[in-house]
Structure 1
Amino acid sequence: MATCDECGRHENLPYRCSRCGGTFCSEHRLPENHECPGLSSWNDPSGVFESSFDDSVSTKSGRASSLLGSLTGTGGPLGYFRGNMAYAFLALMWVTFALEWAVILGMQAGIFPRGTFSAVFTLSSSHPLFVWTWVTSVFSHSPVSFYHIVGNSIVLYFFGPLVERYIGSRKFAALFVVAGMAAGLAHIGSSFVLTPGIPTSVLGASGAVFAILGVLTVLNPSLRIYLYFLIPIPLWLFTLAFAAISVVFFLEPSTAASAGQGNVAHFAHLVGLVIGLAYGQRVNGKRNVPNQMSLGGSRRGGGGRF
C-alpha cells in the first residue's frame, strides 16, 4: 500500500508518474491532475505532433535536447536530480564538508600550502575576486562547529523539498545558489563599510537556507512546525524570531559574542531572508502547500518534523 503524493490517500494499486517519479492514486495519476513539474518541459517528446518540415533546422538542438533528456530523464544517470535538488544540495554540503577536512589534514601534513582552505572554501574580504569562492562558500561550513552544518541540513531537508516542488527544481537551484552568493557578498560588503581594514570571511549555506525559509513563510505563514520535535509553533513566528535575533546580534556584536554567536554572519542571514520573502511574494498563489509537517508524511507533504 502506498500514499498518493497529491491527496495523501492510501492506494493499494498506485500509479507512478514517469515524468516526475511521484506516486499517485487513480484520480491524480495524470500529469495535469497533480501539477506535474514535467508538464512545463513536455515539448511533445513522443512525437505525436511530429512534422517532417525542414528537420535540418532543429537537428543539432534536437540532439542536444535528446542527450540532456536521456541524462536527466527517468532512468537516466542524473534522473534523481530532477525534483530532488534539495537533497542533491544536502549531499553536496556533506561531501564538501569531508573535502574541507581532507584539505585541513593535507595542510597539516604539508601536502597543501598554508592558505589553501581559505582560497578554496571561504569568501573573504582579503580575496573577494576569487570568484569560485562565491559558490564554494555556499556549500562549505565551519569545520570546528558541527552544529553549523547540522542546523542548515535540518532546515534544508525538511523545508527545501516543499519549496522545490512549488517552484520547480531549476528555479529552486537558482534561488539557493544566488541567494547564498548574495548573502555572502553582502556580508563581505558590509565589513568593508563598517569595519574597513579588518579582514573578514564567510562560509555556509545559512543565507540560502534563510531564503528557503522566507519563501515558505510567504507561501504558508501558518504552517505548523515542531520546534525540537516537541513544541508546535506557526512558521511565521519561527521566522520572525530568527530574524529578530539576527537583527539584534548584527547591531550588537557584544551581545552576540556573549551568546556564543560572535562568529556568525548575521547580516548574511538577513539578506537571504529578505531575498526569500521577496521571491515568495512573486510566486505566491500558484498552488497550496501543507498546513503541517509531520514525520512520515506524503512526498508532497514534506516528510518530517522540525
Structure 2
Amino acid sequence: MAKCDVCGAAVSMPYNCRHCGGTHCSQHRLPENHSCSGLHQWNDPKGVFDSGFDSSADNAETSSTDRILAKLPIDTGPGGPLAYFRGNVTYTILLFMWVTFLLQQVASLGLAPRGSLEMYPSAYETYRSIFVLTPQNPEYAWTWVTSIFAHGGLIHIAFNSIVIFFFGPLLARYLRDRQFWALFLGAGILAGLAQIMIQISEGGYGLLGGGVVGASGGALAILGVITVLHPQLRVYFMFFIPMPLWILTVGFAAISLLLVGGGGAGAGGIAHAAHLVGLVVGFAVGEYIKRTQNVRGPNQFQLGPGGPGGPGGGRGPF
C-alpha cells in the first residue's frame, strides 16, 4: 500500500501528481497542498489560464529550457511542432544531441571533395576544430560544449540517448532546469577535459589523432545521481537481465577504473576516463541531493503517465 509523501498516511487509491510525480492522499493531492516541486516549471506566456484576478500569473518564473527554446525560429508553444520539448530539459538535451549529430553528417559531406566521402587532412582538421575536444587544441573553449553533443556514430549516440531518456526525467524531479543543465554540461566538460589530459600525458596521439566526443560524461553523471538516490531501482541489463541499478553502476565504474588505472583510458576507442569522471560527479551530486531533499522511498517512487512530463514506466532498460 502506498504512503502519502506529506502526512505518511497509508493510501489504497493514491493520487500521483503529474507535476512532481509524488504520491498523495486526497487531502494533499492538489499541488498547493503538498508544496509541489514541479510548479517552478509552470509557465503561461499567453495567459491561457489568466482569470484577471491574479496578476502574479504574468510574473510566473520561466524555466531556462523554455527560454532556450523561445529563441528558436519555430513555435514551441502549446500545439507547436516543438511543444513536446517545452519545459522538458531531458528531451531538449536529446534534441540538441541529435541535431548536432545531423550537423556532423552534413559538415563531413560538405568538407569532403565532390564524389568522395573522405575529407582531406586540412578539411578534417576544420571538422575537428568544430566538433571535437582535442589534445592538440584544448584552448578551443567552444569544443568543450560542442563535443558533448557531437558523437562518433549511431551506436554511440543511441547508447547515450537511452541513458538520458530513461533516467533524465527522474533527475528532473529533484533539480530545476538550470541545475540540470549545470550538472549535464559541467560533468560533460570535466569528463572531456580529463580524457584529453590523460591523452596529453600519455602522448602518441599524432597530429590529427586523439580527442573526445559524446555526452557520456553528462549521461553517466545522471546515472550516478539516480544510483545514489534509488540504488534498488530495478533495471534490465541488455533489456532482459534484471538487476538493481547499483550493481550495474558499480560494475560499470569498476571496469572504467581498472582500465584507467591500467593505462587503458582510451581502450577500444572508448573514453573510459570520461565515463569515470562523469560517474564521480554524479555520485557527489546525488549525495548532496540526498542530504538536502526528501527522497521518496521505494513504495512512493513512481514515474508519471508519460507525455511531455517524461516517459512512463517504472524501470530502466539496462
TM-score by length of 1: 0.73
Aligned with residue 208 of structure 1, among 214, 218, 226: 218
Partner residue of 1:159?
A: 167
Aligned with residue 96 of structure 1, among 90, 95, 100: 100
Kindly indicate whether structure 1 or structure 2 has the higher relative contact order, using CA contacts under 8 Å at least 6 residues apart: 2
Answer yes or no: is the 8 Å Cα contact 2:17–2:31 preserved in 1: no
Return 5+ residue gaps in structure 1 as ranges.
1-5, 51-61
- Give the CA deviation at 1:298: 3.3
CA RMSD of aligned residues (A): 4.3
Partner residue of 2:203?
A: 195
Partner residue of 2:186?
A: 178
- Map 1:230-245 onto structure 2 (within 5 A): 230-245=240-255
Answer yes or no: is the 8 Å Cα contact 2:133–2:211 preserved in 1: yes
Following the alignment from structure 1 to structure 2, what is the Cα–Cα distance between the partners of residues 48 and 80?
27
- Give the CA deviation at 1:232: 1.4
Aligned with residue 129 of structure 2, among 102, 119, 137: 119
Partner residue of 1:57?
A: none
Q: Give the match's secondary structure for 2:156.
A: helix
Q: Give the match's secondary structure for 1:268.
A: helix
Give deviations 1:145-166, integer Å, cap 9, x for gaps. x221111111111011101122
Number of residue pairs matched by the alignment: 276
Following the alignment from structure 1 to structure 2, what is the Cα–Cα distance between the partners of residues 284 and 8?
27
Residues 1:148 and 2:156 are matched in the alignment: yes
Q: Give the match's secondary structure for 1:201.
A: coil
Q: Give the match's secondary structure for 1:288.
A: coil
- Give the CA deviation at 1:287: 3.0
Change (3 A) 1:170 1:290: farther
Give deviations 1:114-139, integer Å, cap 9, x for gaps. 42320111000111111111000001
TM-score by length of 2: 0.71
Following the alignment from structure 1 to structure 2, what is the Cα–Cα distance between the partners of residues 76 and 70?
14
- Give the CA deviation at 1:221: 1.1
Of 163-172 and 204-213, deviating more is 163-172
Give deviations 1:78-136, integer Å, cap 9, x for gaps. 87555411111112111111111111111223599342320111000111111111000
Letter paired with 1:177: L
Following the alignment from structure 2 to structure 1, what is the Cα–Cα distance between the partners of residues 133 and 114?
23
Change (3 A) 1:296 1:39: closer
- Map 1:131-146 onto structure 2 (within 5 A): 131-143=141-153, 146=154
Q: Give the match's secondary structure for 1:157.
A: helix
Following the alignment from structure 2 to structure 1, what is the Cα–Cα distance between the partners of residues 287 and 17?
34
Following the alignment from structure 1 to structure 2, what is the Cα–Cα distance between the partners of residues 183 and 70?
26
Return 5+ residue gaps in structure 2 as ranges.
1-5, 44-49
Answer yes or no: is the 8 Å Cα contact 1:139–1:205 preserved in 2: yes
Q: Give the match's secondary structure for 1:162.
A: helix
Letter paired with 2:256: S
Partner residue of 1:56?
A: none
- Map 1:12-23 onto structure 2 (within 5 A): none
Aligned with residue 305 of structure 1, among 310, 313, 316: 316
Following the alignment from structure 2 to structure 1, what is the Cα–Cα distance between the partners of residues 182 and 197?
22
Following the alignment from structure 1 to structure 2, what is the Cα–Cα distance between the partners of residues 108 and 83?
38
Partner residue of 2:37?
A: 36
Change (3 A) 1:68 1:252: closer
Residues 1:130 and 2:131 are matched in the alignment: no
- Give the CA deviation at 1:30: 2.4
Change (3 A) 1:92 1:9: farther
Change (3 A) 1:203 1:9: farther
Following the alignment from structure 2 to structure 1, what is the Cα–Cα distance between the partners of residues 92 and 68?
18
Following the alignment from structure 1 to structure 2, what is the Cα–Cα distance between the partners of residues 8 and 86?
32
* Percent identity of equivalent pairs: 39
Q: Give the match's secondary structure for 2:136.
A: coil
Partner residue of 2:46?
A: none
Following the alignment from structure 1 to structure 2, what is the Cα–Cα distance between the partners of residues 197 and 217?
34
